[in-house]
Structure 1
C-alpha cells in the first residue's frame, strides 16, 4: 500500500506502479505504454535522452497513467539507490520492476576492449542486479511483486561479435532463476523475456540486406515489433501470471528453438 506521506504522486490504491528501465524508446517504451494502458502508473528510468523520456512520459499520461521520468545510470549502485529512493518517495510503492536497460558494444573477441566488455555487462547485468536488490526489501515488506528481466535469444544461443552482450544476457537468466527462488516465499515472481531481432531505432538504421539476412534466420520470417515483446511483459506482471516464476520466455519467432 502507498504511504500517506504528503506530496506523493501515487494516491489511488487501486493502481499499481511499475518501474521500467531503458524506458525512453524501443522495447522499454512499448512496455511502459502497454502497462499504462493496463492501469499501471509509471516510473520511467532513462540514461541520457531527456527528450525521448519526456515523450514517453507524455504517451503514458495520454493512456491515463501518472508517470515520471528519472535519469539514472543503472550500472552505478549509488545512482540506483538514490533513484529507487526517489521513486518510493514519489509513488509510495512499486509493484513491478522491468529491467530493460541495455547497451551494445559489438566486436570480435580478439579486438574487444576491456571497457566495452565491462560497460555492456555493467549496464545489462549489473544494472538489473542493482535495481532488483534496491527494491527487494520493499517487495518483501509488501509480500508481493513482479520482476521481469529483459534477456535475449543471443543469451541462449550466442552470436559472433557479441561475446559481451551474450554473456550479459545469459547472466540475466541465471540471475532470474536464483532471485526467483529467493523471493518466491514472499510472493514475488521473477521471470525473463528473451527477444530475438526486434524492429527498433537500431535495426531501422541497418541496410536492408542486413535486415533480410536476419529475417532469413527466423522461422517466422520477420522481425518482431516492440509491442509483441511488451505483450509478454504485460502478461508476466499481471495477476494471470501469479504462478509463473523462474521462467525464460522467448519472443524470437522460433530463432533459438
Structure 2
C-alpha cells in the first residue's frame, strides 16, 4: 500500500498485531509507545500519549521519515481497576487522560497533515465495555464510551477534508490484559460471548486494515464491534 501509518501503543498485544498487519501490507509504519519492545521494519518512537510534547515529537519524526500521516490508529490504553468506592480520583483521571484525552491529543496532531493533503483515516480502538460497562472498571468503561463521541464529532467536523473517523470495539482478546483479568470475571465474559472464545489479536487487526482500505472510504462515524457477540447482552 505504501501509506504513512502511525499507531499508538503499537508494540504489544492488539497494537502489535495491527502494526505487523500494516507492515505486511507494505505500508510505512511508525509505532509510538512507552515500552522497550520494538518492531523490526517499523519506525519505533518513544511517546507517552499523556504528553503533548512527546506526541508532537513523534509526529514530527514520523512525518520527516514517511511524510504526512495518512492513517492514524489510536490504540494506546491502560486499565487501573477498583470498585467505585475505592477508586481514587488519580486512578480515574489517569485512565481517562491516557485512553480518552490521549486519543484527542493524537487526533488533533494528525489532523494537521490530513487537512493539508485532504485525505486521512482515523481509527480508534474502543471496547465493548464502553457500552456495557464493567464492574470495578468505571474509569476504563467511561474512557472507551467517550471515544465514541470523540470519533463521531471528528467524523462530522472533518468530512469536508476527506477525513474519516471510525471505531472498533473489541470484546475479549487474547492479550496480557485478558491474562491479568480475575478468572471469575474472565469465565463470566466468555460465557456471555456467543462464539465462546476470545478473539485473536490478528482478528482485530484485520478489521483495522479493512477500515483503512480504499473499499471502506464511504464509512465514517461507525462503531464496529469485533466481540464474538459479547455486546449483544446474552
* Fold agreement, TM-score > 0.5: yes
Mapped pair 1:242 → 2:229: no
Shift, 1:215, TM fit: 1.0
Equivalent residue for 2:156, pick from 181, 184, 197:
181
Note the C-alpha offset of 1:212: 2.8
Gaps in structure 1 of 5+ consecutive residues: 1-13, 62-66
SS of equivalent residue, structure 2 residue 151: helix
1:16-62 Cα distance to aligned partner (Å, 9 max, x none):
11100001110000001111111211000111x21x1x2xx21xx3x
- The answer for the alignment partner of 2:9 in structure 1 is 22
**Which of the numbers 191, 196, 199 marks the counterpart of 1:216?**
191
TM-score w.r.t. length of structure 2:
0.95
Find out whether 1:68 has 2:43 as its counterpart: yes
Q: How large is the Cα RMSD of the aligned pairs? A: 1.3
Q: Does structure 1 retain, via aligned residues, the 8 Å contact 2:169–2:223?
A: yes
Structure 1 residue aligned with 2:20: 33
Match for residue 43 of structure 1?
30
Distance change in 2, residues 1:208/1:113 (3 Å):
closer
1:110-165 CA-to-partner distances (Å, cap 9, x unmatched) read 11011111110011001110001011111011010100001000001111111100
Q: How far off its partner does 1:211 sit?
A: 3.5
Among candidates 106, 122, 131, match of residue 131 of structure 1: 106
Are residues 1:147 and 2:134 paired? no
1:202 corresponds, among 177, 186, 189, to 177
Answering whether residue 85 of structure 2 is matched by residue 101 of structure 1, we say no
Q: Which whole-Å CA distance do the structure 1 matches of 2:5 and 2:179 have between them?
A: 28
- Residue 190 of structure 1: how far off its partner (Å): 0.5
Aligned to 1:81: 56
- Per the alignment, residue 4 of structure 1 pairs with none
Q: Which of residues 204, 227, 231 is equivalent to 1:252?
A: 227
Q: Distance in 1 between matches of 2:183 and 2:169?
A: 24
Distance in 1 separating the partners of 2:191 and 2:141: 20
In the alignment, the residues of structure 1 paired with residue 138 and residue 177 of structure 2 have an alpha-carbon distance, to the nearest angstrom, of 19
Query: Alpha carbons of 1:128 and 1:207: their partners in 2 closer, same or farther (altered >3 Å)?
Result: closer
Number of residue-to-residue matches in the alignment: 232
Matched, 1:122 2:109: no
TM-score, normalising length: structure 1: 0.87
CA contact (8 A) 2:14 2:201 kept: yes
- 1:89, CA displacement in angstroms? 1.7
Say which one has the larger Rg.
1
Alignment of 1:5-20 (within 5 A): 15-20=2-7
Instruction: Measure the CA separation in 1 of the matches of 2:85 and 2:102.
Output: 26
**3-state SS in 2 of match to 1:125:** helix
